[in-house]
Amino acid sequence: MQYDVIIVGAGPAGANAALEFARSNLEVLLIEKESLPRKKPCGGAMPASAEKLLSIDISKVVKNRTKVLRQYHNYEKEIVKILHDDTNAPILINRSEFDMFLLEQARVVGSGNLEIIDKCRVVSVGESPQMVHVVLENGKTVEAKYLIAADGALGKIAPSIGLMQKRKFAPSLDAEITTSAQYYDKHCDTMVMNYFCVPHGYGWIFPKDKNLFSCGVLTWGKALNLNKELDDFIARSFPGESIENIEVSGYPIPIYQGTEQISTQRILLAGDAAALVDPVSGEGIRFALHSGKISAIVIMEALKGDTDLLSDSISQKYQKMIDEEIGKELKTKLSFASLTFHSSPDMFYKIFLKR
């Protein structure tokens, strides 16, 4: 079967690309290896500005908006920021529900041109001058004019086509903590960032759903004993009697390096697959949504026959748009993160927290 576009991965990058294509007449196939909706270890926090990257209303799946941010430097030097403007309050979502909602909306607003296959892994991808050829784990081959590789941090497509050869990852653990309703109600308005409570990293606490907190740790250095760091962080942050259940899961966060090529003539990497993650906070949902959207826009322009975008210039156009709309912000943060997280925590406090 031949499609205009194949999207691999049903995370925010792949789902938002599908949403962008929804109102076009293009034949789009999205392939996901897990059974949908699928779970993804994630704090589920994104800035309010992420909403503007979506063409739909997401208020139905927004679980919380927090107005208070408590920041610490290794449990000390508390700095509290209170937002007085609701419209800028960070958004908390449940990832399996949010990602699935985007896909469902792509179907609802679309003209029936989106096909979704889940529980099916892409095992290999090949590119010829006219087509991309995709082999699925059920032995079938599908083809398309373009492919968006939104297959996440550990995605196999990029390395298999010679991209992202020097990928690096930050280890991270997320504990979903169910608490008593009384404890949740008292703390549901507050996000906590505890910088350097783990070496070269931080811990977070996000009230992300009714009686549920995401409490996690991330290090930009080596994870010597991240499970213990997480246990300590939980023990020092939650009164024991408030906790009803804890579920821990881990996943790597790609480290943005700033100079990598993220596309070929017919294959565009989006989201974590392109390591588009904030090098200070590890935030990736917003950049996954944004790059998914840009990849779809570039492909739609190319398929419209825009002469500026024929053949090899598609890759250049994508790379340029990503650099301008995402890369500039990430590069500035990368310089700051490289300096402070590894060698100068005090500078982090003075420049980042006290600003």
Ligand X SMILES: Cc1cc2nc3c(=O)[nH]c(=O)nc-3n(C[C@H](O)[C@H](O)[C@H](O)COP(=O)(O)OP(=O)(O)OC[C@H]3O[C@@H](n4cnc5c(N)ncnc54)[C@H](O)[C@@H]3O)c2cc1C
Q: Does 11 bind ligand X (CB under 6 A)?
A: yes
Enumerate residues 200-219 that contact ligand X by CB under 6 A: 216
Q: Are 149 and 158 in contact (CB under 8 A)?
A: yes
Enumerate residues 212-271 that contact ligand X by CB under 6 A: 216, 251, 253, 271
Q: Bridge partners of 141?
A: 135
Out of 5, 18, 31, 114, the only residue in the binding site for ligand X (CB under 6 A) is 31
Out of 199, 203, 279, 284, the only residue in the binding site for ligand X (CB under 6 A) is 284
Nearest to 61 by CA among 85, 37, 84, 41: 37
In the complex, least distance from residue 215 CB atom to ligand X, rounded to whole angstroms = 10
Q: Does 272 bind ligand X (CB under 6 A)?
A: yes
Q: Does 152 bind ligand X (CB under 6 A)?
A: yes
Q: CA-CA distance, 324 to 320, in Å (whole number)? A: 6
Q: CA-CA distance, 66 to 109, in Å (whole number)? A: 30
Q: Does 94 bind ligand X (CB under 6 A)?
A: no
Out of 42, 226, 267, 296, the only residue in the binding site for ligand X (CB under 6 A) is 42
Instruction: Find the radius of gyration of the CA atoms of the chain.
Output: 21
In the complex, least distance from residue 227 CB atom to ligand X, rounded to whole angstroms = 13
Nearest to 329 by CA among 262, 273, 263, 283: 283
Residue nearest to ligand X (CB): 284
Binding segment for ligand X among 159-167, 179-187, 275-283, 333-341 (CB under 6 A)?
275-283
Q: Does 34 bind ligand X (CB under 6 A)?
A: yes
Instruction: Return residues touching ligand X (CB under 6 A).
Output: 8-14, 31-34, 38, 40-46, 121-122, 150-152, 155-156, 172, 174, 216, 251, 253, 271-273, 277, 282-286, 288
